[in-house]
A and B are shown apart, each in its own frame.
Chain A
Amino acid sequence: MSWEVVLDIAAAACFLFAGLLSLAAGVGVLRFGDLLSRMHAGTKPQVLGVLLGLAGYGLRMRSGPVLWTVLLVALFQLLTAPVAAHMVGRAGYRTGKVSSEGLAVDELTNDLSTAQQDIGPTG
C-alpha cells in the first residue's frame, strides 16, 4: 500500500468521525432541555468535529497553502467557540432565560442575589 492510499484512508476516517460528531452536536442542541446544556453540545463535539474535518481536508489535499489555512481555521475555532458559548450563556443568565430549578446546585444565582442585597433594595 502506498503512502497516498494510507493518507487517503486516514482522511476518510477523519471525515467519518467529523460527520458523526457534528450529527451528535446537532441532535444534542435539539434534545437537551435548557440553554446552557445546549451550549455544551455546541462547543465540545462541534469543535472536535470541525478539527477532524480540517485534519481530513489537510490529509487529502497535502499541499502547503491548504495546510496553513487549515491550521489558522483550527486555531481560531478553538479560540472563538468558548468565547461565543460564554457570551450566550452570560446573556441568557442575565436576561433570566436560565431557570435554576433544573440545576442541582446554582451558586451563581445565589451570589448574584447576595450582591443585590449588598447594594440595597432598589439598586
Chain B
Amino acid sequence: MPPASPVESLADESALLARLKAGDPGAYEQVVREMGGRMLAVARRILVDENESQDAVQDAFVSAFRNIAKFEGNSQIATWLHRITVNACLMRLRKKRRQDEVSLDALLPSFGADGHPAHAASPWRQSPTGDELAETRESIRAAIAKLPEHYRIVLVLRDIEALDTAQTAALLETTEAAVKIRLHRARQALRELLDSTFRDSSN
C-alpha cells in the first residue's frame, strides 16, 4: 500500500474522519503513523517511564477508534487524540500505587520574618547554542522529571501541553486555585533545580 499523504488541510481532515468512521483500516494506520509520535511524546512527558508511555498510547488509540462514532469533528483529530492520550496517561498515574509525596519545601524560596529572602537571586546566563544546547535540554528534562509527581504533572499539563487552568483542574479532579498554587510551586522548584546550571558566574 502506498504511504498515505499527510493531513494538511481541513478537507483532508474531514475526508480522513469520514474514512475513520467508515472503519477503513488504512485510515486507522494513517492516523497511528502520522500522529502516534506526537502522542507518544505527550505520554513520555507525563509518565516518564517508557513502557508505561507506550502502553498509554496504545490504550489511547484503541479507546479513540472504538469511540470514533462519538467524535463530532468539533476539533482537529490531533487535538481530540491529544485529550484522549492525556486522559489515558492520567488513568495510569492514578492506578499506580500512590508514592509518598516528596516534600517540595527544600526547593522553595525561604524568607525571614522581615520578608527578606534567605538567599538573594542572581541573574542567569543566556541559553547555550550549538552542541551544548542538546545537553542543556536533556538536563532540563531531567530536572522536570525530578519534581514530585503531584507538581510535575501540573507543570507538564499547563506549561508544556498548554492546557488552561480550567482544563487542568477538570482532568486532575481538583480546583483551579489548587492548580495555580501547584503550578507556581512547581515552577519555583524547577527554577531552584536549574539555578546552579544557569547562574551567571560573571556577575
A and B bound? no
A interface residues, Cβ below 8 angstroms from B: none
